[in-house]
Chain A
């Protein structure tokens, strides 16, 4: 229930839905605090036993209170209710699933990682949200977390004149100061935080970011952080991924309170003591009417005093330490040994020196002390150090170069200590990056010695639930895995004062979270998914194709039209077949501006290309096109290419399949690393021109329709290139074909691309032709036996393709030394073949392996692989390209093709890989 006069958030009323019921909260509430304010204690259920679960924490470590939010398509799954701010129109449902199991296992890892899998139930999915935007930030000092230590560190670095960036995962700066009733310099601590934040925000050299959690740290001070902009799944842009480059950083991520394990320890109403105080001070909510506290340290006693001040009845404090007293409040020196109640806690059983008794209570605050948050400091693999005085694992100094931990994140648990440590740690970083330490001291605040009795496990029969969302108790897990834990090599560097291995194991099992860095704490980890797709490149004709109703698909980085639909065509296959027939019988136009074009110039350009290519490029005449092969140094085929010689010292390389980035890298390597002394300059000109291929028997008619001065086969022979103009605009013509048809490529400046495309499309239509898309282009090249990137895959040699004689072994070139090796020229290698489906047998799988039809099928009897298949409208049957052992000697063999993924199979006959125009006469005209 809400307590009058309590709470530090000041928003207006907010309406939301939870499990089908409408509730009201206050702006600034989390879903968990708003539900507690409405008296809702059950926020989830365990998967198999369906035991009710309540919220246990008030932060990122919450694993009980997980919800799915939104409805329909706009949904987010497995969201943490303890950190989700409520908003108008929020629709949340508890999940009954093992969706939280990842967090669960991470809590008790490595132990739980090996625990039996729980059966998935409804909604057992992870919330993979797209990172919708990326950004970079640079700073001198990155302060991670803005609690007492972080604020002082930020102030120190800012006063020193450093460029400071402060990030905090919460919705407000202040950390624990927001949730406790302490004082800093006679001011309420949360007000001190507020005024410090205002002071920092007023400084020009300080930037501050809320709701930004640092996920990882990489070499040379690069930090990845995710900023949450919106929670509502109806808003598309909800997260930004930041990469922050910092000269130094102060890690002030605080610590996590650990529970104590005792029988039936996960009933709604049982909560961490610090969470209880958060709900009281920050949100003004009391989780019950009769409070009990079970703690092994002084700090938790504060919980009882705070609630007593707020008028809540304190039934008892249970503390294992002898002699501890708490004024009027009854203290039992013992432990909680059982609890009762289902949807909410009803009573607890306390066993103490004088016997056993039941105490009526509806909320129990538990504290087993604190564990520093190790997720960031553990990322470079440094083992944390055991600090005997705080009974916790703390980050070792120098765990991450350039980063210094401060405050609770390194085991300093009192407020003054944190403030002071913030100053000291910031100074350490400032010295490291060469700045002077400013004259600054920590303000006065509470100095509480941290006294703790190491009790984390109550030795009593009964299910001690080891983690949320699991119906697996500590006793069921522990004996089985203790040995494995002790054998964990990560423990070898950990020194403890514990008497024996068993104690260490117990401490690890029960001290949540465990000391294993990144596995341990995953701040909102499930809310972060794969990156949004990389930027897409569009063709000059993109808009025009879209306007024609073409479906646009991704081909590498490029968006290309799959086909240009006609009215009445009901399948993509029908559109593709029409386009293929159109090219074969009339004329087709297609945008090939995605094809890689590299400009090569310089006095040694011809020498360079002779070195890069397996054929002799230097003998090519000007205005002629030379088909060639490029090899990798290991003798495999890198790509085939058409090289146009524009001038003595000027060439253009047109790659068949390689992306422009890959081809540039390959050629730059040759130019800079292998032949640094040659006079040659390279430029990627892929995007500087728009190029359209015109293909089909009526190509000449179409080209002559659009260009200013007509051409013929003498002016522009096969594999010739020349300049021309269209309406006075300069263009280049090239007689190359990747379809098996008579074809001509027209290139213009990219500025005229779209205009020319529309012009060509109209002219083609007047000749019973039209535009063809990527689907038809793929069929046309398979019919002609031309390889695509997927057919080559970095393992094919020229010998495999039957084109080894094109290579000129009289000169040195990249790949020459290896391509001549006998094993790359062995007749037993898989060789390129064409495959024909049996008539009327249905489509072939997209890819697969080959066996002898009717023969054995085992890994040893695989005869080859099929890399491309399609329906050939020109041949009226299914065809494919593949690689068959001794393939060239096996034309006519009867084989079966099997897709290993789906098990689909189809009978195929091997044959020549060219299905259309065997002799290759058509393109010559």
Chain B
């Protein structure tokens, strides 16, 4: 798989570490209900199809939000997590 690092350009997936669903961007408030925190810490598995997930490009230290389609394995786009608004 090739992933477009927002900082370096397209690189092989072996340079990246996968983190999971981009739900990690929406950290609940400290006093949010337990159910919300449970969902945040253990997000449900996404069905095949378009996903937003987080990948860390270790060589440049960039966390990227990658838009992929797990049904047809296409990598659609990526932007840095710092700038992502989801």
Which A residues are within 8 Å of any B CB, using their own CB? 136, 218-222, 243, 245, 380, 401, 633-634, 661, 664-665, 668-669, 672-674, 676, 682, 812, 816-818, 821
Contact = CB atoms under 8 A, between A and B. Distances in A.
B1 A665 contact: no
A243 B13 CA distance: 12
Contact of B82 (A219, A401, A676, A682): A676
B43 to A, nearest CB: 11
Given A634-B41, A664-B61, A812-B30, A219 B56 contact: no
Contact of B2 (A222, A380, A664, A676): A222
A245 to B, nearest CB: 7
A599 to B, nearest CB: 13
Given A222-B1, A665-B56, A674 B27 contact: yes
Contact of B28 (A218, A669, A817): A817
Given A218-B1, A672-B80, 7 more contacts: A634-B41, A664-B61, A668-B61, A668-B62, A676-B83, A817-B30, A818-B37
Contacts of B32: 817
Contacts of A222: 1-2, 12
Given A673-B24, A674-B27, A245 B63 contact: no
Contacts of B17: 665
A380 B74 CA distance: 13
Interface in B12-66: 12, 17, 19, 24-25, 27-28, 30, 32, 34, 37, 40-42, 54, 56, 58, 61-63
B40 A633 contact: yes
A634 B25 CA distance: 15
A669 B61 contact: no
Contacts of A245: 2, 12
Find the residue from B2, B62, B75 having the highest chain A CB count within 10 A.
B2
A648 B40 CA distance: 34
Question: Which residue, of B28, B41, B83, has the highest number of chain A Cβ atoms within 10 A?
Answer: B41
Contacts of A821: 34
A672 B1 contact: no
B48 to A, nearest CB: 13
B63 A673 contact: yes
A818 B36 CA distance: 11
The 5 closest A-B pairs by CB, nearest first: A220-B2, A812-B30, A219-B1, A672-B63, A676-B82
A676 B80 CA distance: 11
Contacts of A243: 12
A668 B54 CA distance: 12
Nearest to A815: B41
A621 B21 CA distance: 39
Interface of A is mostly: mixed
Contacts of A219: 1-2, 73, 75
B4 to A, nearest CB: 10
A633 to B, nearest CB: 6
Contacts of A818: 37, 41
Contacts of B73: 219, 380, 401
A207 to B, nearest CB: 20
Contacts of A816: 30
A221 B10 CA distance: 12
A672 B62 contact: yes
Contacts of A817: 28, 30, 32, 37
B62 to A, nearest CB: 7
A842 B1 CA distance: 52
Nearest to B25: A673
Nearest to B19: A669
A812 B29 CA distance: 9
19 contacts: A218-B1, A220-B2, A222-B1, A243-B12, A633-B27, A634-B42, A661-B58, A664-B58, A665-B56, A668-B61, A668-B62, A669-B24, A669-B56, A669-B63, A672-B81, A672-B82, A673-B82, A676-B83, A817-B37
A220 B82 contact: no
Contacts of A664: 58, 61
A678 to B, nearest CB: 11
A245 B14 CA distance: 13
Contacts of A668: 56, 61-63
Nearest to B34: A821
B61 A682 contact: yes
B75 A220 contact: yes
A633 B2 CA distance: 29
Contacts of A661: 58
A221 to B, nearest CB: 8
A755 to B, nearest CB: 31
A221 B54 CA distance: 22
A674 B25 CA distance: 7
Contacts of B24: 669, 673
Nearest to B22: A673
Nearest to A666: B56
A824 to B, nearest CB: 12
Nearest to B60: A668
Nearest to B65: A673
A618 B59 CA distance: 30
B18 to A, nearest CB: 11
A382 to B, nearest CB: 12
A220 B81 contact: no
Given A669-B19, A817-B32, A220 B56 contact: no
A380 B75 CA distance: 16
B58 A673 contact: no
B12 A673 contact: no
Contacts of A401: 73
Contacts of A682: 61
A821 B56 CA distance: 29
A767 B8 CA distance: 53
Nearest to A662: B17
A633 B30 CA distance: 11
With most chain B CB atoms within 10 A of its CB, the pick from A220, A634, A682 is A220
Contacts of B63: 668-669, 672-673
Contacts of A669: 19, 24, 56, 63
Contacts of B83: 676
Contacts of A633: 27, 40-41
B38 to A, nearest CB: 9
A218 B12 CA distance: 11
A243 B27 CA distance: 38
Contacts of A812: 30
A220 B1 contact: yes
A177 B1 CA distance: 35
Contacts of B25: 673
A816 B25 CA distance: 17
A222 B17 CA distance: 18
Contacts of B40: 633
A674 B26 CA distance: 8
A367 B48 CA distance: 44
A672 B19 CA distance: 14
A795 B73 CA distance: 33
A401 B28 CA distance: 40
A340 to B, nearest CB: 54
A669 B61 CA distance: 9
Nearest to B28: A817
Which residue, A380, A633, A673, has most C-beta atoms of chain B within 10 A?
Answer: A673
A136 B80 CA distance: 26
A434 to B, nearest CB: 17
A218 B40 CA distance: 31
